[in-house]
Structure 1
Amino acid sequence: MPLVQITLATGRTAEQLDALGKAVTAAVGESIGAKPESVRVIITECEPEKWFIGGESMADLRASGQR
């Protein structure tokens, strides 16, 4: 049973997350021959204030136009 874990910054719609889950499930099935019902996808969302890149929060980077 394949398990795919994805971490994203918050801000996507429910529709976008649904599309991601479906696309990842399909990609796993196509690439390794797994049945869709055996694929597990976990999407974890993280607040940009708690995600750091090069020592700066993603929130600050977004505010400055760098991300």
Structure 2
Amino acid sequence: MPIVNVKISKGRSINQKKKLVKDITDVIVKDLDVYPEWVTVLIDEYDRENWASAGELHSEKFGSGFGKEGVK
């Protein structure tokens, strides 16, 4: 039973997440030759103030946006 864990910043819409889990499931089914019912996708969402890279909090580095809109 494949389990995929996706970590993203908070702010994506339910429709974006629905598409993401569908796309991930489709790839796993195709590549691993398993039934869709066997695939579990977990989405962990983080506030930007609790995520950092290169020693800088994402809330300060990218602001409140997400995806390409959040990039300075």
Check whether TM > 0.5: yes
SS at match of 1:34: coil
Give the number of aligned pairs: 65
Flag as ranges the 4+ runs of structure 1 deviating above 3 A: none
Residue number in structure 1 paired with 2:29: 29
> Identity across aligned pairs (percent)?
29
Gaps of 5+ in 1: none
Residue number in structure 2 paired with 1:11: 11
Residue number in structure 2 paired with 1:49: 49
Normalised to the residue count of structure 1, the TM-score between the two structures is 0.91
Instruction: Give me the whole-angstrom Cα distance separating, in 2, the residues matched to 1:8 and 1:25.
Output: 17
Gaps of 5+ in 2: 64-70
Instruction: Give me the whole-angstrom Cα distance separating, in 1, the residues matched to 2:34 and 2:8.
Output: 24
